[in-house]
Amino acid sequence: MAQIDRVAAVHDLSCLGRCSLAVILPVLSAMGIQCCPLPTAVLSSHTGGFGSPARTELAGQLRGTLEHWEGLELSFDGVYTGYLSSPEQAGLAREAVEKLKKTGGLALVDPVLGDGGRLYRSVTPELVRAMKELCRHADVITPNLTEAAVLLGREMVELPGDGQELARLLSDGAARSVVVTGVIPETGRIGAAWFDRESGQAGIYAGKRITGEYPGTGDLFAAVLTGSLVRGDGLEAGAVRAVDFVRRCVECTQTLEAPRREGVVFEPLLNLLFP
């Protein structure tokens, strides 16, 4: 019997709005991968457009789950981390990478810190430092342009205009692979730039830029990339698939005239991700 690949996902669960685990679980399942969630928090909705959500922090639950899984001697083909609300949670995410990732497995860190040139309101200097430390344990990181500037300790205007050079800088001397999202190589196009530590090659892929901002597209992108890499695809192939899938979902959302604050409609397109 063929073994099903398995990914541990260290993320929050927003009960309303297409982001975080509400996106990651179905995407990885559609890609033929078992997703085992390690929730960092439960929110009644995501934080962009529904007012002030009710939230419960789950650092204690996260720690207990790690201890339980370690006792069961579980190992995972991938560990994928996203939104973390405190330095303590970032430390627990690092433990998840160290204790759960099997030899030869993937550790993908989406360093969720900010967007649009600003840090999220909940991000403190201590959390930034903890996220940088977590990134040092990653095989792949997926920052947007704002997060790239934070990780490098620069202002956004100081970032190199070439997305490939930016990805190289973020690789920390080829210690990790990098995919930078939201790169605009030319007017009317948007996509991702990458540096692959295995090949030493950098590249960029962009598609048509569609007007409008939607929450959760970073989670959707990183989930597709994670699934692609766990299935054995190269970094370039995974980035291309993720860019194209997100674009198709945005197009679908606009065609359906779905509310923007609910995130992009991806459910009718999951078949595009089937193995």
Partners of 60 in the β-ladder: none
CA distance 20 to 138: 19
The model's pLDDT over 91-146, given as tens digits with 9 standing for 90+, comes to: 999 999 999 999 999 999 999 999 999 999 889 999 999 999 999 999 999 999 99
The model's pLDDT over 32-51, given as tens digits with 9 standing for 90+, comes to: 999 999 999 999 999 888 99
- Give residue 213's pLDDT band: very low, low, confident or very high (50, 70, 90): confident
DSSP state of 216: T
Biggest CA–CA distance in the chain, Å, is 53
CA distance 188 to 181: 15
Average pLDDT, the chain: 96
- Give residue 1's pLDDT band: very low, low, confident or very high (50, 70, 90): low
DSSP state of 143: -
Whether residue 249 contacts residue 243, with contact meaning beta carbons closer than 8 Å, is answered with: no
- Give residue 211's pLDDT band: very low, low, confident or very high (50, 70, 90): confident
Lookup: tokens for 257: 């005239």
Q: What is the CA radius of gyration of the chain?
A: 17
CA distance 24 to 45: 16
Partners of 42 in the β-ladder: 13, 56
Q: What is the mean pLDDT of residues 208-215?
A: 89
- Give residue 212's pLDDT band: very low, low, confident or very high (50, 70, 90): confident
Angle at 124 between CA 119 and CA 128, to 5 degrees: 80
Which carries the bigger pLDDT value, residue 213 or residue 253?
A: 253
Partners of 197 in the β-ladder: none
Q: Is the dihedral of CA 213, 216, 219, 223 positive or negative?
A: negative
CA distance 148 to 143: 6
In CATH terms, 6-273 corresponds, of 2.40.170.20, 3.30.300.160, 3.40.50.720, 3.40.1190.20, to 3.40.1190.20
CA distance 273 to 120: 31
The model's pLDDT over 168-188, given as tens digits with 9 standing for 90+, comes to: 999 999 999 999 999 999 999
What proportion of the chain, given as a percentage, has pLDDT over 70?
A: 99
Whether residue 226 contacts residue 31, with contact meaning beta carbons closer than 8 Å, is answered with: no
Rounded to a whole number, what is the distance in angstroms from the first to the last CA of the chain?
A: 17
The model's pLDDT over 64-91, given as tens digits with 9 standing for 90+, comes to: 999 999 999 999 999 999 999 999 999 9
DSSP state of 248: H
Tally the residues of the chain. 275
Q: What is the mean pLDDT of residues 249-255?
A: 96
CA distance 66 to 7: 14
In this prediction the pTM is: 0.97
